A = this chain, B = another copy of it.
């Protein structure tokens, strides 16, 4: 394993280049649909057929296969990013609720077939160097949610509701309590039944555990 490039932390990359046109967005949606359906080795022919466009157009628009994959990852990321809500943590109930929202939405994303398929592709690519999809996925997934949660944690600390030294460390604990073994099991093909109710309960449990570890006794 060659020394992997470090991932740009803290900074969600947010649309570094031109946004795709409507037609190209349709193509990218077709790519995502193909990925989710799985099974296929994800050939350019399949994309062209599915999107009803010619391969030549694919290569004109996205350069090559990696460009198409990169554009797809960015496209999916642009849709997942919710609006960055204002951080106004005043009391314990608001803090808990905010963290539960983050936990639940993160679980929903991570367990979605789209995320699983995309992460699988990115992980497969991470093995053989060239064009780090993995970096993009990390920046828009793990690090993006970290960048959004940490201000909340710091606001909670400022309000005397939480106690921790390093926001990063606190967030990583939060991340572990929320995700546990879910993502690796899904990536490896295990079928975990997880409906909206289970996600809500999991989020509540994770936040309760996190507050038990980092909460300040009023």
Contact = CB atoms under 8 A, between A and B. Distances in A.
A82 interface: no
A183 B39 CA distance: 25
A180 B138 CA distance: 14
A21 interface: no
11 contacts: A1-B113, A3-B191, A5-B189, A119-B188, A120-B127, A123-B187, A138-B185, A138-B189, A175-B180, A187-B187, A213-B213
B184 A183 contact: yes
Contacts of A124: 120, 123-124, 127
* Interface-central residue, A5, A135, A178, A213, by most chain B CB under 10 Å: A213
B187 A38 contact: no
A137 B1 contact: no
Given A117-B1, A209-B213, A129 B39 contact: yes
A179 B177 CA distance: 10
Contacts of A6: 190-191
Given A38-B2, A128-B39, A134 B176 contact: no
